[in-house]
Amino acid sequence: MEESCRLSKESSRKFLTLRCFALARRSNHLLRTLTIDHAWEDGSVASVQTMSTGRIVFLGDINGAPGRMVLEQQLPAIRERFGAFRLIANAENARNGSGLTPDLYETFRRFGIDAMTLGDHVYRDARIVSSLEDPLKPIARPANLSARAQGKRLIRIPASVEFPRDLFVFTLLGRVHMPSLLANDPFACADELLQSLPERNPIVLVEAHMEATSEKGAIARYLDGRVAAVLGTHTHVATADARVLRGGTAFMTDVGMTGPHDSVIGRNPEQVLRHFTSGMHIPFEMGSGGEAVQGAVVEVSLETGRAISIERIDFPADYTRAPFRAMHAR
C-alpha cells in the first residue's frame, strides 16, 4: 500500500511538472487570449495579469454618405471580430467626398471613433478649424504643413482599461504628385515629433497620406523600429502588402477606403469617364454601390510599443439591413 501511494505521488508530480512546462511554452499566447479576446470578471486569474498587447484599428478614408452608412452598420461586426481596440479613421472625405464638418466629427465620435485624421482636404470645409484648434478634441491636421497652418499636429489618446497606454497619432502629407497642398519634409517632421514625445517607448501610429507608393515605403522604412505602424491612405485602393518590417513597425501601403467601391475611388464612374475622355472639367458626385469598411488592425506590444502583427480588414455592407435595405427596396 505504501509503495502504491509513493508511486501515485511520483506520477502526480511528473504529470504536474510536464503540465507546467506545457503551460509555460504557451504562456505568451494564453496571456494575449485571456486579456484581449475575453472579458473577465474581477478576481479571475486573468484580472491579476498585466495586459501584454493591444489592438489598433485604423480605417481608410470615410467617403461621403455611403461611407458613413456602412461604417455605422458594420462597426458592431468589427468589434465582435476584433474585441477591444483603439479606433482611428481618416475622415477628410466624409463631407460628400471632400472635407469634414464639425457635425460629422461629432457623429463619428458617437459611433465610437477615438480619433480622426485629415489629409490634403483638411481645409475644404473651414468650419472644422475650430475643432482642429481645440486641444481636447482628438483630431489633427497633417503634421508637416507650414507652421502658420491652423490646427493641432499630434493626437494623444489617453490610456484606458481597454488600452492601458497612451497612443500618439500623426499624419504625414506626401510631396510627390501632391500639388493641392504644399507640405514640408515629412522625414524631418517625423524626427521632430518623435523626439518631442515624453515616453521612452511610445506607441505611435503614423498615417502616410501620400500619392506615391515609393514615398510611403520610404517613410515606413525610415521609421521602422521607432513607431508601431505606418499606414498609407489617400489612393482609396487597398494594397496586398500588409506586413511587419524587420524593426517591428507594421506597414501597409494603402489601407483602402470606407465607402462605395462600385465607383472610381469613390466618385460617380460616368462623370469620371466623361472627364477622362473629353478633357473637360466635370464635377464629380459621390458614387454608390459596393459599400465596404476597409482598413487594418495592428496588434502591438504594450511593453515595447512595436507591432506584433497586422491584418487587412474588409467588411462589406449588408444590403438586407438598414440603412441600405430601404434604398435597395426601391
ω before 323 within 30° of 0 (cis)?
Answer: yes
Q: For residue 4, what are the contacts with CB-CB under 8 A and spacing of at least 6?
A: none
The C-alpha angle 155, 159, 161, rounded to 5 degrees, equals 145
Decide if 85 contacts 162 (C-beta within 8 A).
yes
Q: What is the dihedral of CA 294, 214, 98, 287, to 10 degrees?
A: -50
Catalytic, out of 38, 121, 234, 281: 121
DSSP letters along 46-59, please?
Answer: GGGSPP-EEEEEEE
Grid coordinates 497642398 are at which residue? Answer: 181
DSSP letters for 177-238: S-TTS----HHHHHHHHHHH-SSSS-EEEEEEE-S-HHHHHHHHHHHTTTSSEEEEESS---
| Distance, C-alpha 60 to centroid of its chain | 8
- As beta bridge partners, residue 267 has 264, 286
How far apart are alpha carbons 226 and 313 in whole angstroms? 24
To the query of whether residue 234 is one of the catalytic residues in this protein, the response is: no
Instruction: Enter the DSSP assignment of 186.
Output: H
For residue 3, how far is the Cα from the chain centroid? 63
Q: Which residues are catalytic?
A: 121
